[in-house]
Structure 1
């Protein structure tokens, strides 16, 4: 499982559900590593569900989103991600998720931190060996 200084893969008990915790100041190498895990899941499953837990998340390295691995995962996501849950999204990001949900094939929902159990249920998994936030 992926475990970098700013991105940790969380156990879900299901191969077709991925979950990650992203901390503040995510580095481009960490984003690249996470995108690699996601792309490998895309290669092995017709569709996946994805959950992100954002802990004081700030993307400080914008070029990380421009790396080939990250761009590849972003391009594949609309066809491969059925459900996408984000716990702790900043208000602007949560509003964007809500606005985009009706016009994308991915069913996406933002959740407040106190709604974590609902977010896990939304993606059809339970945390497995997940350290507390």
Structure 2
């Protein structure tokens, strides 16, 4: 058995609220990163009808577009839309904010883009914060 030496590009962050979920995205996003994130979100939907979500993106190096267009990924995105109450994206490539602004009217969830320096404002908007590290 081979061990993947590349750490995942999407990492879950524990939060102060049961129904608030957070992910940190770094580097190049692959199909397995996306499948892992949607798996974690599917578990959240079993526990909560509606969730708030924050995705913090830094050191972005690209995206495996073929992974995003896979049937399983598309189904995950469609299913997620029914369960997300508030969606905050922090940072990311320069096209992220304008793209969210264009798409906002087509979704029932509240969604906002924040610059990386506005991360605290994004957490405040969700009325959540990162959970303190366990000692």
Same fold (TM over 0.5): yes
Post-superposition offset of 1:107: 0.5
Q: Secondary structure at the match of 1:37?
A: helix
Counterpart-to-counterpart distance in 2, 1:60 and 1:102: 25
1:59–1:129 distance in 2 versus 1, CA, 3 Å: farther
Tell me the number of residue pairs that the alignment of Structure 1 and Structure 2 aligns: 127
Bigger strand share? 2
How far apart in 2 are the matches of 1:89 and 1:106? Answer: 20
Structure 1 runs not aligned, ≥5 long: none
Measured in 1, the distance between the counterparts of 2:94 and 2:84 equals: 22
TM-score by length of 1: 0.85
More off after superposition, 53-62 vs 5-14: 53-62
Q: Give, in angstroms, the shift of residue 64 of structure 1.
A: 1.8
Report the alpha carbon displacement of residue 43 of structure 1 after superposing the two structures with TM. 2.1
- Relative to structure 1, is the Cα distance of residues 105 and 19 closer, same or farther in structure 2, using a 3 angstrom cutoff? same
Map 1:58-97 onto structure 2 (within 5 A).
58-97=61-100
- C-alpha offsets along residues 26-79 of structure 1, whole Å, 9 cap, x if unaligned? 121111101100111112211001100001224431222134543232011221
Per-residue Cα deviation, 1:69-123 (whole angstroms, up to 9, x for no partner): 4323201122111100011032212101112223310110000111111101112
Structure 1 residues 129, 30: CA separation in 2 closer, same or farther (over 3 Å shift)? farther
- Which 5+ residue runs of structure 2 have no aligned equivalent? 1-6
State the TM-score, normalizing by the size of structure 2.
0.84
